[in-house]
């Protein structure tokens, strides 16, 4: 087995795993629609606050969320469900060498990387830059595997 094909499989299984996580989180968020994010933060950090009621991270985030009253919205849940499902289905189809899934994935990842690049100019986020590199690497692996699959199946 070639190294690129092994990396491709790992990349697709990562996307499936990450997609399932997003689906699960999106389903969870559907249960807490319109809940203030500060309440959700408290629910997640409740055990930490028992040990340290003055937790610095909690205080900073809670102060921010109290002064910016945000709620969990349908948009966030729908976003997670949509992209999680899309990544999971497309990655599984590519593992089965369904030719149509390769260009669809390349286009979607291309759009997403373009948006991430725009966001980096706004936020200067190093974490986002890391994810851009991961997405670009996945894009390259998909493109390479698509070429090999097309050659194997006699499509050019």
The answer to whether the CB of 109 falls within 8 A of the CB of 139 is: yes
In a domain, 91, yes or no: yes
* Domain ranges, residue 146: 3-34+72-152
Top pLDDT among 122 and 98 is at: 98
CB 139 within 8 A of CB 106: yes
pLDDT band at 72 (very low <50, low <70, confident <90, very high): low
Is position 50 within any domain?
Answer: no
Q: How many domains does the chain have?
A: 1
Is residue 14 assigned to a domain?
A: yes
Q: Residue 56 has which token pair? A: 């610095």
Domain membership of residue 128 (yes or no) is yes
Reported as a single tens digit per residue, the pLDDT across 31-46 is: 887 777 778 778 878 8
Integer-rounded Cα radius of gyration of the chain:
20
Would you say residue 56 lies in a domain? Answer: no
Q: Is residue 67 part of a domain?
A: no
Q: Please indicate, yes or no, if residue 146 is contained in any of the structural domains.
A: yes
pLDDT reading at 1 higher than 60: no
Residue 153 CA to chain centroid, in angstroms?
Answer: 31
Residue 89 lies in a domain: yes
Q: What confidence tens digit (pLDDT) does each residue in 101-136 have?
A: 999 999 999 998 998 899 888 888 888 899 899 999
């Amino acid at each position: 087995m070639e190294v690129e094909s092994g990396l491709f499989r790992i990349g697709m299984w990562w996307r499936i795993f990450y997609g399932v996580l997003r689906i699960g989180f999106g389903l969870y968020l559907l249960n807490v629609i319109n809940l203030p994010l500060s309440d959700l933060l408290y629910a997640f950090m409740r055990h930490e606050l028992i040990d340290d009621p003055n937790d610095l991270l909690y205080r900073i985030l809670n102060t921010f969320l109290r002064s910016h009253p945000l709620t969990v919205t349908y948009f966030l849940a729908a976003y997670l469900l949509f992209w999680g499902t899309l990544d999971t289905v497309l990655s599984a189809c590519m593992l089965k060498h369904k030719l149509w899934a390769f260009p669809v994935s390349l286009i979607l990842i291309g759009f997403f990387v373009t948006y991430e690049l725009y966001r980096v100019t706004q936020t200067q986020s190093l974490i986002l830059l890391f994810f851009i590199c991961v997405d670009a690497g996945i894009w390259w692996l998909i493109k390479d595997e698509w070429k090999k699959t097309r050659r194997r199946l006699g499509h050019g």
